[in-house]
Structure 1
Amino acid sequence: MKRMKVYAFLGALVFPSYLLAAVTVPDSTSRKSVMLDEVVVTSYKEKKTLREVPASISSISLGDLNKKNLVDFKELSSYIPNLFLPDYGSKLTSPIYIRGIGSKLTPSVGLYVDGIPFFDKSVFDFDMNEVNRVEVLRGPQGTLYGRNTMGGIINVYTKNPLDYQGLTYKQMVGNYGQTQFSGSYYGKLSDRVGYAVSSRYKHNDGFFVNAYTGSEADNLNQISSKGKIQWKTESGWDGVFSVNYEYTDQGGYPYGLLDNTTGQIGDVNYNAYSSYRQGVLTSGLSMSYSFDDFVLKSVTGYQNLDDRQAIDQDFTAEAKAFVIQTQKQNQFSQELEMRSKDGKRFTWLNGLFGFYQTGKRMVLYTTQKDYDEPSYGLAAYHQSTLKDFLLKKLSLTVGARFDYEKAKQDYIVWKLSADQKEQIPD
């Protein structure tokens, strides 16, 4: 009987509500309907919408980049979950951490710009001018990419001159002497060939004052230029050739000594001017051909890094420790990829990757040390996916990877005596 009363009570609540809904006058308040744009992810090597990809991915579009005024790579940390790009005072050390995985030595997170891999942590903090989209994949991606993807991968895509044409100019002025000028032009030679050129200049006076000199310790001057040609042929070949150069001259290291007793950090106060200067040249050629059943792609990359660091390493007004370090690196990379076309029940991807890197580094402190650090590596990887496996919309994905890498270091330590210069072997 009690159960019947409860049902009757619930029915009494529902029934009047139904009648009330039937006679209610429609709300005349205007409501704006917003259709969200479909986000297509290309970093997964198969064009899928964001909700279809079985991975943790964040994507920032061109509209979001402009709305948030993101112009520096490190600013992505503020908008992408689980991504951390620390600032250690200069571009020399710019590691990437995803979900806490990363390293200040050999990167464990991959960075690709238009398919070209960036190898060294010193080149990760690059100019974001003319970027069209950024995609961040969390977790290992070693069966999809050739280099340093244990923690995840960041793919940066610049604007396509076949899709976008026009002239742009931007100027920004702010406090602390911040000034930015940028310009770009996108044009077409034909319906199948497009080109783009762009440049940007950035300056700020710095944010910390060196108490010893009374001037800013961390001023910045930076200029970058980019060129790009993109084409599509009637025979099925697609190609992109790009060249980027970036030069940075920044005051360095607004560090203060920590007082262990009080826990207070002292003022920036050192007698020798610290700085970091860096020049980075990056070029790449990407070619792809679409066969009837698969797509073949080749990506060739080259990067040159030339920098100089000068640092007052005691960070005091006394002349105790001053270090100069220079490095010159050349990296060559080649990636070959063969994958099935999208939209099939069984999809697969095979890839080969190889690189060769030369590195020469000099450290001058009490003595001079010269380092020669060549390295090379090869990798082969595979991933395949079977859709509708046992159940509808259930997919089975398997992958494998083989990696071989070799690095060595030769160094010379120079000592000065009263009458001769002595070379000490390893």
Structure 2
Amino acid sequence: AGDRSDRNTLIIDISGARLALPQGETFRAENPATGITSVTASQLDTNTIRVRVTGETQIPSASVTASPSGLVVSVTPQSELNIIVTAQKSEESIQNVPASITAVTGRQVQDSGITSSQDIPRLVPNFSILETGNRSRSSFNIRGLGNIPSINTSGGSSIGFYVDDVPYSDWFSFQSSLTDIERIEVLRGPQGTLYGQNTQGGVVNIVTRAPTNLWEVRGSTSYGSPGLRENQLTVKGPVDENVFFSLSGLYSERDGFVRNTLLDELADYRQSLALRGQLRWLSPQNDWDVRLGINYQESNDGGFTFVPFDDGDRREVAQDFLGKNHSAGNDQSLRVFYNGSGIRFTSITARREFRNSPSSGDGDSTPLAIVNANVDVNTLKWSQEFRLQSPENAGRLQWLVGAYYEYKETGVDVNVTFGPDAATFGFPPASSQKC
């Protein structure tokens, strides 16, 4: 056998062998292992098999051994994949984090096609999200601990949720679009020492890709059923020698699965828009790193839709009121990092606003005009965090001290409207009541 290389591809010719495939067919495996893009095997001639192994960044290594069932080709990258995380407020290898943690790389997010925080459990064990008719009324759980999707909880949750160090401390605003992601870290178990309140169950830490002096333009378009359309675009690059920017956007819409036969309209349609921008200044000595971030998200969905379990067709409802769910959130952050020879300093100033209004639906879920409900939620939060910690080259003694301040205003309005058929059930017709 002999081998030769072509860029990141290793080619192995195995003489005296034949493929157990119909004549002319080729074996191919996409992304069979970490660091390997593809493996193909074909019959080069009547007595020779050619195996091509392509690595992601470099030429992989391979060995051929004989087994009772045939030849076995073992393929490995020449270097191990080392994932760097910031779960403990410092960059370190995931292997050195003394906690139960799962890190999902940006490449994994892209390859799996997930575009929302609702999809993270597809890649993370012991983490689940149960949607209760509204993207802003979802139950997040890590090892069984999470939030209760009720307006009476005032947004409290036992899970911490962060996007680029900005805390989303209200569970009803956990919904986040995933664009231009560097990695997603999910820590299980109490994290109160480093993350403070509302982290008894764990922490979800989303990190986006920082702009650099390299120009980059990436985009994607997806289509699916029923009526799914999704578009993403990211542009980033230098503004000046030490100033860089990034802009990313995502727009998606879905026709829905459930039709309201009474009004002849789809009841669970969805539409969402997400925009994210970042401006970064890096000092010539690389000791100061200042990042200004802006994030905006908006969604327009159908109203609350409930279908009885014993219904013959769970894709049809008959309700006199369609309802609507509109939510919008925006946040601005200024993050300052100093990495000196003897100390590191971090300052995170953030403002976050979220509104879920209107959020309405048919309260009786029947064709009768009995009662409709509308729940409006809005919150405004300011936060400031300071951290001082040991330098990156610190030995066994590593330390961290910090302070955190948060100011939050939350408002919840519930309005119930009774229709003409309410009198049959003892309620005052054509009236409204605030709760």
Scaled by the length of structure 1, the TM-score of the pair is: 0.76
Q: Structure 1 unaligned runs (5+)?
A: 1-24, 368-415
Cα distance per residue 1:83-104 (max 9 Å; x no partner): 1111112122133211111112
**Match for residue 331 of structure 2?**
282
For the pair 1:133 / 2:183, whether they are aligned, the reply is yes
- Alpha-carbon RMSD across the aligned residues, in angstroms, is 2.7
1:144 alignment partner, SS class: helix
Going from structure 1 to structure 2, the CA distance change for 1:255 and 1:230 (only over 3 Å counts) comes to same
Cα distance per residue 1:77-127 (max 9 Å; x no partner): 122011111111212213321111111231111111111111212221111
2: CA distance, partners of 1:208 / 1:423: 30
1:17-416 alignment runs, 5 A limit: 30-34=73-77, 35-104=79-148, 105=153, 106-162=156-212, 165-234=215-284, 236-258=287-309, 267-308=316-357, 309-342=359-392, 343-366=394-417
Using the TM superposition, give the Cα deviation of residue 422 of structure 1 relative to its aligned residue in structure 2, in angstroms.
13
Going from structure 1 to structure 2, the CA distance change for 1:189 and 1:264 (only over 3 Å counts) comes to closer
1: CA distance, partners of 2:334 / 2:321: 43
Cα distance per residue 1:161-219 (max 9 Å; x no partner): 11753112211111111001121110112342210112121111001112322321100
Going from structure 1 to structure 2, the CA distance change for 1:347 and 1:90 (only over 3 Å counts) comes to same
Going from structure 1 to structure 2, the CA distance change for 1:266 and 1:313 (only over 3 Å counts) comes to farther
**Match for residue 20 of structure 1?**
none
Cα distance per residue 1:305-362 (max 9 Å; x no partner): 1221111111111111101222322111111111112342111111211111112332
Aligned length: 346
Q: Is the 8 A contact 1:94 1:123 kept in 2?
A: no
Larger RCO (CA under 8 A, 6+ residues apart): 1
Using the TM superposition, give the Cα deviation of residue 293 of structure 1 relative to its aligned residue in structure 2, in angstroms.
2.2
Cα distance per residue 1:265-320 (max 9 Å; x no partner): 79522110121001111111111223432211110111111221111111111111
Q: Is the 8 A contact 2:417 2:433 kept in 1?
A: no
Cα distance per residue 1:122-163 (max 9 Å; x no partner): 221111111121011111111112342211111101111117
Q: Is the 8 A contact 1:222 1:247 kept in 2?
A: yes
Going from structure 1 to structure 2, the CA distance change for 1:121 and 1:164 (only over 3 Å counts) comes to farther
Q: Structure 2 unaligned runs (5+)?
A: 1-63, 419-427
Q: Is the 8 A contact 1:95 1:124 kept in 2?
A: no
Structure 1 or 2: larger strand share?
2
Q: Is the 8 A contact 1:188 1:194 kept in 2?
A: yes
Q: Is the 8 A contact 1:77 1:84 kept in 2?
A: yes
1:143 alignment partner, SS class: helix
1:256 alignment partner, SS class: coil
Scaled by the length of structure 2, the TM-score of the pair is: 0.74
Using the TM superposition, give the Cα deviation of residue 48 of structure 1 relative to its aligned residue in structure 2, in angstroms.
2.3
Going from structure 1 to structure 2, the CA distance change for 1:53 and 1:423 (only over 3 Å counts) comes to closer
**Match for residue 411 of structure 1?**
none
1:51 alignment partner, SS class: helix
